[in-house]
Amino acid sequence: MTPLIVLEAGACPLPLDNVDTDQLIPARFMKRPRSDGYGQFLLHDLRQDAANPACALDQDRFKGCQILIAGRNFGCGSSREAAVYALADFGFRCVIASSFGDIFASNAVKNGVLPALVSPEQAEVLLAHQGIAQGEPLHVVLPDQQIRFGNHSVDFSIDPVWKTQLLNGWDDIDMTVSYASEIARFNQSDAIARPWAHPSRSAAQ
Amino acid sequence: MTERAGSLSSRPKTLIDKIWDAHVIVDREDGQSLLWVDRHLLHEGSFHAFDQLARRQARLHRPDLTFGIADHYVPTRNRDTLAPEIKRMVDQLSDHCASHDVTLFGLDDPRQGIVHVTIPAQGLTLPGNIMVCGDSHTSTHGAFGAYAFGIGASEVAHVMMTQTIWQKRPRAMRVTVEGLLPEGTSAKDIALHLIATIGADGAQGHAIEYAGSTIRALSMEGRMTLCNLSIEAGARLGLIAPDDTTFAFLRGKPFAPKDEAFEAAVRAWRSLRSDDHAGFDREVTIDAGSLAPTLTWGTTPEQALPITATTPDPATILDAARARSISDALDYMGLEPNQRLDSISIDRVFIGSCTNSRIEDLRAAAAILSGQRAKVPGLVSPGSTAVKLQAEAEGLDRIFTGAGLEWVDAGCSMCVGMNGDLVPAGERCASTTNRNFKGRQGPGSRTHLMSPAMVAAAALTGRLTDVRTLARGTRP
C-alpha cells in the first residue's frame, strides 16, 4: 500500500447524503477481476442523469482531482470493497464526509484511501466553497489532520490506528504473522475454554 | 476502549464484552485487538480475496472453519442451463473452494441457499461465536448471540490467511423493545421503525444488543430479520442473548454439538448475557405497542413511515441537506410530497432475501394470499433449498402460484439483481428485502421495503396497503 502523508490535489464536490456503495459501483460491474480497472464504473448510474451532482466527475475542471467531498453517511450499505476499488482506480486518495459507513471506511484505509471525517457544518462549507468548485487545489495534511485551502483550514478526524497505517503504508497481514506464537497459545487455551465452538462434523451430511 | 480494556473481571460486562474478551489474542496499545474468528463464510464475490491469496502464494489457513456458499449470482430458474458469465462466477467459487479444501454448499447441494439463511439452519451459527463474511448482512447471525459482522475483501484475505481479524472494540448500544407486537407487525417493522428513528448512520461505530420482552418473544426467524437490518442503521452488528428459543432451534442441527456436548454447550451459553448493571454507551427504547406496519417511501432505509402516513414535504424541512435528500428521493421514486402512502400503485412484488425468506416469512405472506389472486406479478424466492422443500411440504408454493406469483429457487435473487432477477427501470416493487437504494434491484428500479405480510397485502390490491385493513376482511 502506498503511504499517504500530504495530498495536494483538486477536490470534486458531491453534495449528497447517504451515497451507498451500490451507487459507488452498481453490482452488475463486480464480476470483473480488479486488474481490469474499476474506475470507469465509479458512480456509474448517477452519472447517467445529467442533473445529478455526480456528473461533476466528468467535467474538465475536476480532471485529475484526487479528493471527493460528500455529505453524511458516505459509503453506507454493502461491504463491497469494489466501491473503494472504483474510487481508487478513478484516482481518488481521499474522501471528505461528515460520516462514513464503518465497513467502507475500513476498506478505504486498506487500499490507501483516506476517509477524512469533518463536522456537517464543515462539510457544507467545503461543498459550497467557490474556489474549490472552480478546481482550486486542497492540501490534505494527514500528520496535522488538517485540510487547507485559500486562507482557511478545517480539522478532520481519523482513527489513530488508521492514521498510522496510512502514513506508513502498512499491511495488516505482515503484522499479524508476527503474532504467530500468540495465536498458537490462544488456540490451546481456547480449545479448553470453548470446546463447543468448533463445527461438529460427526453427523454432518 | 482503554477504560474497558483495563476493567476488572468483577465489573459487570455486556454480552458484547463477554464474546469480545473470549476472542482476544493480542491487545495493542493503539486500541486494536487481534480477534480469533470461529467461522468464515465465503460466496462467489469472495474471488477478490482468493486473488489476493494467489498473489501472495498463500494457503487458506483453516478450511475446517471456512464454508463456501453459492448464493449471490445463482440463477433462480433453469439451473441446468447457466448463462456463461453466471457459470463462470459459480465455477470460480467451486474451484477456489476445492483447491483450498473448503466445504462448499454449491449450486447442486441440498444445503444451498442464502448464506445467512442456510448457515444458521445447519447449526453452524453458535452462541458466542465470532463470525465474518464478505457481506454486510452477516449481522444476521447475531440472532443466536454470535458476534457476526461483514468485512471487505482485504479483510477476507486476512482471515483466509490467519483466521484472525484486527478490530477496535465497538461502542455498545442497547435497543430495548417492550410489549406485545400489534396485529400486522413483525420484526421487520421494529427494524424499520428503529432505522427511521436513529437514522441510517445512527448506530455507526456501535454494536447493538437487542433486549426486552418483545425480543424474547420473537422466534429465531424474527430475531434474524431484526439483527440482519442492524447494518441499515449503520451498526457494525446486532445481537441477542441466547435463550431457550435459541437452544431449541440449534438442538439436532447438523453441525451443532451433539448429545452430552450439546448439553455442556448450553450450560456455557447460558452465561452469554449482559450482566445486570452492565453499562451501555447508548440506550434506545421502543414501545412495541406503538408500532404500525412500516415501509420505506424513499431511497434510504431511514426514509420509512407507518403505512397510515403521507410522504414528507421538503418545503416544510428546515435543514437544507435533508430537504435536498427528500426532494431527490421523491423525484427518483416518482412520488409527490404529501401523498398518502396507501394510494401508491405498485408494479410487482418480491418475497425473498436474507432479511425475509425463511419459512415463517413465507407462512406470513401465504396467510394473506391464501385463496386469492394478486393484482400484480411477483417473484417468491425461498431463502434456501431446504426452506423451499419445507414450504412445498406445507403447500405454500401452491398458495403463491395460485395467486399468480412465480415460485423459484433459492438465492439472493431480486434483492441485489446480480443473477439477472431485476425490477425493470421505472417499475415500483413492494419488496421484503433490505435496501431501497437507487438501482439496487436493477437500474432505475423503485423499491419499497416492508414485511412479508405487507408485501402480500400490496400484491392483492396492486398498491401499498395496510395489511390490517385486509386482515379484517379476508383472513379467517
Nearest-angstrom CA–CA distance, A168 and A86: 23
Contacts of B332 (CB under 8 A, 6+ apart): B299, B438, B446
> In the prediction, which pLDDT does B471 show?
61
Q: How far apart are CA A40 and CA B75, in angstroms?
A: 27
Read off the amino acid at residue B112.
Q
Q: Which of B89, B205, B328 is nearest residue A102 as measured by Cβ atoms?
A: B205
For residues B126 and B265, the answer to whether their CB atoms sit within 8 Å is yes
pLDDT of residue B12: 96
| Span B431-456, pLDDT tens digits | 999 999 999 999 999 999 999 999 99
Would you state the cell numbers that stand for residue B334, as one nine-digit string? Answer: 416518482
Partner residue facing A18 (CB), from B31, B123, B300: B300
Q: Take residue A49 and report the three cell numbers written for it.
A: 442523469
Q: Is the pLDDT of residue A195 over 90?
A: yes
Residue of A nearest to B444 (CA): A45
In B, minimum Cα distance to A108 occurs at: B152
Q: Comparing C-alpha atoms, which of B345, B387, B337, B341 is closest to residue B363?
A: B387
CB pairs under 8 A between A and B: 192
B115: left (phi over 0), alpha (psi -120 to 50) or beta: alpha
CA B298, CA B300: separation in Å to the nearest integer? 6
- The whole-angstrom separation of Cα B197 and Cα B175 is 12
pLDDT digits (tens, 9 = 90+) for B243-257: 999 999 999 999 999
Distance CA A61, CA A53 (A): 14
Q: Does A173 touch chain B (CB under 8 A)?
A: yes
Please tell me the predicted confidence (pLDDT) of residue B139. Answer: 98
- Single out the residue of B135, B89, B93, B79 nearest to residue B354, CA to CA: B135
Q: Which long-range contacts does A97-100 make (Cβ < 8 Å, 24+ apart)?
A: A97/A69, A97/A70, A97/A71, A97/A72, A97/A73, A97/A123, A98/A71, A98/A72, A98/A122, A98/A123, A99/A72, A99/A73, A99/A74, A99/B201, A99/B204, A100/A73, A100/A74, A100/A75, A100/B204
Q: Domain ranges for chain B, please list them.
A: 2-170+243-265, 295-474
Q: Which residue of A has its CA nearest to B109?
A: A205
CA-based nearest distance B399→chain A, Å: 31
User: How far apart, in whole angstroms, are the C-alpha atoms of residue A18 and residue B201?
Assistant: 9
Predicted pLDDT of residue A175: 85
Tell me if B25 and A17 make a contact (CB, 8 A cut-off): no
User: How near does any CA of chain A get to the CA of B157, in Å?
Assistant: 9
Say yes or no for a CB contact (<8 Å) between B439 and A23.
Answer: yes
pTM, two decimals, is 0.96
Partner-chain residue, chosen from B48, B261, B437, that has the shortest CB–CB distance to A34:
B48
A194, B201: Cβ pair inside 8 Å?
no
pLDDT tens for A119-139 read: 999 999 999 999 999 999 999
**Helix/strand/coil (H/E/C) assignment for every residue in B257-290:** CCHHHHHHHHHHHCCCCCCCCCCCCEEEEEEHHH
Pair B93, B42: CB distance under 8 Å: yes
Interface contact flag, B416 A27, Cβ < 8 Å? yes
Look at B64 and A199 and tell me if their CB atoms are within 8 Å. Answer: yes
pLDDT score for B375: 98
**Residue A172: what pLDDT?**
84
Domains located in chain A, CATH noted: 6-170 (3.20.19.10)
pLDDT at B150: 98
- Of all residues in chain A, the one with the smallest CA distance to B110 is A205
pLDDT band at A110 (very low <50, low <70, confident <90, very high): very high
* Strand, helix or coil for residue B56: coil
By the CB < 8 Å criterion, does A146 face chain B?
A: no
Q: Which of A124, A200, A205 to mutate to test the interface with B (most CBs of B within 10 A)?
A: A200
CA gyration radius for chain A?
20
Position A150 confidence tier, pLDDT thresholds 50, 70, 90: confident
Kindly list the residues from chain A whose CB atom is less than 8 angstroms away from the CB atom of residue B38.
Answer: 197-198
Q: Which stretches of chain B score pLDDT less than 50?
A: 1-7, 473, 475-476
SS3 at position B125: coil
pLDDT at res. B472: 52
Rounded to an integer, what distance in angstroms lies between the CA atom of residue B176 and that of residue B281? 14
H/E segment holding residue A116: strand A114-117
Question: H or E segment at B387?
Answer: helix B385-393
Nearest-angstrom CA–CA distance, B345 and B372: 19
Task: For B174-220, give the DSSP string.
Answer: EEEEESPPPTT--HHHHHHHHHHHH-TTTTTTEEEEEESHHHHHS-H
Q: Quick check: B418 and A80 CB within 8 A? A: no
Mutate to test the interface with A, among B9, B32, B322 (most CBs of A within 10 A): B32
Q: Rg of chain B's alpha carbons, rounded to an integer? A: 22
Which of A29, A196, A198, A201 to mutate: most B Cβ within 10 Å? A196
**What is residue A108's predicted lDDT score, i.e. its pLDDT?**
98
- Give the CA dihedral B263, B265, B271, B272, nearest 10 degrees: -130
Contact B166 A20 (CB under 8 A): no
CB contact under 8 Å between B201 and A76, yes or no, is yes
CA angle A25/A27/A31 to nearest 5° reads 105
A177 vs B: CB within 8 A: yes
CA angle B430, B321, A63 (to 5 degrees): 95
Q: What ipTM does the predicted assembly reach? A: 0.95
CB distance A161–B30 less than 8 Å? Answer: yes
Record: contact B152-A110, CB cut-off 8 A: yes
CB contact under 8 A, A182 and B134: no
Q: Which residues of B touch A78 (CB under 8 A)?
A: 135-136, 416, 435
Nearest chain A residue to B133, by CA:
A79
| AA letter at B353 | S
Q: Using CA atoms, how far apart are residues B448 and B433, in angstroms rounded to an integer?
A: 9
Residue A14 and residue A54: Cα distance in Å, rounded? 6
Which residues in chain A have their CB less than 8 angstroms from residue B439's CB?
Answer: 22-23, 26, 45
Distance from CA of A107 to the nearest CA of B (A): 6
**Cβ separation A182–B418 shorter than 8 A:** no
Q: What's the gap in Å between the CA of A130 and the closest CA on chain B?
A: 18
Interface of A with B in 41-80 (CB under 8 A): 45-46, 71-73, 76-80
Q: Which architecture does CATH list for B2-170+243-265? A: 2-Layer Sandwich (3.30)
* Residues B446 and B334: beta-carbon distance below 8 Å: yes
Å between B476 CA and nearest CA of chain A: 39
CB-facing half-sphere around the CA of B53: CA atoms within 13 A: 22
A103 touches chain B (CB under 8 A): yes
CATH number for the domain running over B295-474: 3.30.499.10
Interface contact A203-B25, CB threshold 8 A: no
A contact residues 106-145, partner B, Cβ 8 Å cutoff: 106-107, 110-111, 120, 124
CA distances for A119 relative to A70, A73, A122, A124, angstroms: 11, 12, 5, 9
